[in-house]
Copies of this chain bind each other. A is one copy, B any other.
């Protein structure tokens, strides 16, 4: 029962104040999520699309959770997918007459409509070939949230001089935030952040053997960075892309 219904019943003397209060108490939890509604100028949440992580679920589970999201929200993102996921999700898309898009390198499948362009612009930089799947994950989710994404791949620190001209192009393009993806020793975000004045988000990648391997050295060196930098967890391209898109869409809204 909606709040307004309860209040109307009270107004109409159909229930007592005490009963109305009890009803409100029992149902009050619905109110909590509506913080944004109080702010009249943000009536609709820009919303990060609900995402399903596929790789620890059966194909049937993924498909059935996807169906629920698709029906309720008109769209769904599934991350860390493989070929078999695509097969079963393609059936779902056909059955529901939804568009389906498979971003193979990003290991992402999107069913339903993408947001229209919001005007936000972000950059995604990756240090090595092995970092590209994570970088693509960031790129695809940001596009999905309506951003334009400019990518620079394979600009490692060993040859730091390769970075500069590419970075200049990014700055010229006017990006609102930059996601920098790096494994092993994870230096790149620190360097990029020292050269530009837009927010830089570091994404450690689970590459590297031995001590500090699997992204640990990269994560710690980003946390210890002397530059101004925030960090997401190892391989968390999705979070970094969505965070950058939040910044960019916020900036874009003001721009227009």
Give per-residue flags for A76-99: 1 if the beta carbon is below 8 A from chain B beta carbons, else 0.
Answer: 000000000000000000000000
Chain B contacts of A240 at CB under 8 A? 230
- Out of B128, B167, B224, which one reaches A233, CB within 8 Å? B224
Contact with B along A13-28 (1 / 0, CB 8 A): 0000110111011111
Inter-chain contacts of A38 with B (CB < 8 A): 22, 25-26, 168, 171-172
- B234 x A232 contact (CB < 8 A): no
Interface residue A190 (Cβ < 8 Å from any Cβ of B): yes
Question: Interface SS of chain A: helix, strand, loop or mixed?
Answer: helix
Docked Cα-Cα span, A209 to B39, in Å, equals 36
Chain B residues with Cβ below 8 Å from A221 are 185-187, 212, 217-218, 220-221
CB-based contact B223/A212 at 8 Å: yes
Measured CB to CB, the nearest residue on chain B to A47 is B197
Tell me, yes or no, whether A112 is within 8 Å of chain B by CB. no
Contact flags A218-231 to B (C-beta < 8 A → 1, else 0)? 11111111111111
Query: In this complex, what residue of B is CB-closest to A160?
Result: B191
Chain B residues within an 8 Å CB radius of A30: 161, 165
Q: A residues engaging B (CB < 8 A)?
A: 3-4, 7-8, 10-11, 17-18, 20-22, 24-39, 41-42, 45-48, 56-57, 61, 65, 128-130, 156-165, 167-168, 171-172, 174, 176-177, 184-187, 190-191, 194-199, 201, 204, 206-213, 215-236, 239-240, 242-243, 246-247, 250-252, 254-255
Instruction: Show 23 A/B contacts (Cβ-Cβ < 8 Å), sorted by A.
Output: A4-B18, A10-B10, A24-B24, A26-B168, A28-B32, A29-B162, A31-B31, A56-B207, A65-B129, A156-B226, A158-B190, A158-B226, A160-B191, A176-B250, A185-B220, A187-B191, A210-B234, A211-B223, A217-B217, A220-B221, A230-B231, A230-B232, A252-B254
